[in-house]
Amino acid sequence: MRFKLSMSPLSAMLRSQKRWKRNLEKAMPKFRFAEPSKTAKAPKPRRPRSGLVPIQAFGSNPGRLTMLEYAPPKRRDPPTLVVVLHGCLQTARQFDQGSGWSRMAREKGFVLLFPEQRKENNHNLCFNWFRPSAVAHDRGELMSIRQMIEHAIERHGIDRNRVFIQGLSAGGAMANALLVTYPELFASGQVIGGLPFGAARDAMTALSVMKSGSKRSPGEWGDLARGAAKGAARTMPAVSIWQGRADRIVAPANAGSLLAQWLDLHGLDEAAGELGMDAAGNVAVWRNADGRTLLEYRLIDGLDHGLPVAARHAATVRQPYIIEGAISAPEAFYETFIRLR
């Protein structure tokens, strides 16, 4: 089934969601989804171990962030790096324990990098995606994270074509800022409950956009992103956008704006998307001529604000904004983008 929006531009996307959902339900079997809780259930409470190790000297660190990494004892070729950005009110270790990234890295043999916010920078431990000085090219927090990535690439002999990034909430907005500012650095990224680059310029506008979204045309969103990168990128990274319909912190309208931004950056026709369904619900996919996924968009029924993790992967200790759901976002990112790249 082809993905065809009933209105243009994409700012009207959300008004069309119910219609194409009804069409899907006629053509495909219905799924029942577990009602998500705010935290993963804990069958046997215990403190999971995090293998994250702090790295002190990785560069000038203008954003004053903390670097943590996990390098499994056995690594597979080609050498791969996955960068993970936590959300507000989370630490790197909490996010790692709740998401299962270290377990996956150990099983699959790739290196993990966890940049971590400090309270001195943001009292709620949010990455400052809304401050122009924090997300400018080679400045602030963005530059600190790039220095961490370069340090990890050199230390572990990472294949430069095998760098991936995931972010949740403020970490999702920061991941998106990195993807548009340094597109040549990443093979692909996953943005969960995040926001488009250029959506806000200070804390007040950030809160407004998170609540209601921001109306711009796809071309305007694309121009904001192109202005962040210095020089034209030969290729743009593939991107997976995840958003909960029941998100009470970041309005679903922001996912539509994120989609508009990346459709414009990839030069993709909005009507060329293929619409399908899996355990998480509806998914729209845009592919290149070779069939490789360039853009994925998920608007998930019943999902509040957080990282969805399937029950079989859920941590045994509750972590903030880790949600038990029908599908695991880290596993899906690995299977669809990391493993197949």
Active site residues: 169
Residues 6+ apart with CB under 8 A from 283: 275, 276, 277, 296, 297, 298
Would you put residue 141 in left (φ > 0), alpha (ψ -120 to 50) or beta?
Answer: alpha
In the 8-state DSSP scheme, what is residue 78? S
Residue 171's SS3 state is helix
Token representation of residue 270: 């909005």
Angle among Cα 45, 46, 47 to the nearest 5 degrees reads 135
Measured between alpha carbons, how far is residue 217 from residues 9, 111, 154, 261, 268 in Å? 7, 38, 40, 9, 14
C-alpha distances in Å from residue 218, one per residue of 143, 247, 301: 27, 23, 25
Q: Would you list the DSSP string of 122-133?
A: -TT----TT-HH
Q: Is the dihedral of CA 202, 208, 211, 215 positive or negative?
A: negative
Peptide bond into 78 cis (omega under 30): yes
Whether residue 145 contacts residue 69, with contact meaning beta carbons closer than 8 Å, is answered with: no
- 8 A C-beta contact, residue 241 and residue 297: yes
Q: What are φ and ψ of residue 147, in 5° steps? A: -60, -40
Q: Where are the alpha helices (DSSP H) in the chain?
A: 13-27, 92-99, 101-108, 132-135, 140-156, 170-181, 203-212, 218-228, 253-266, 329-333
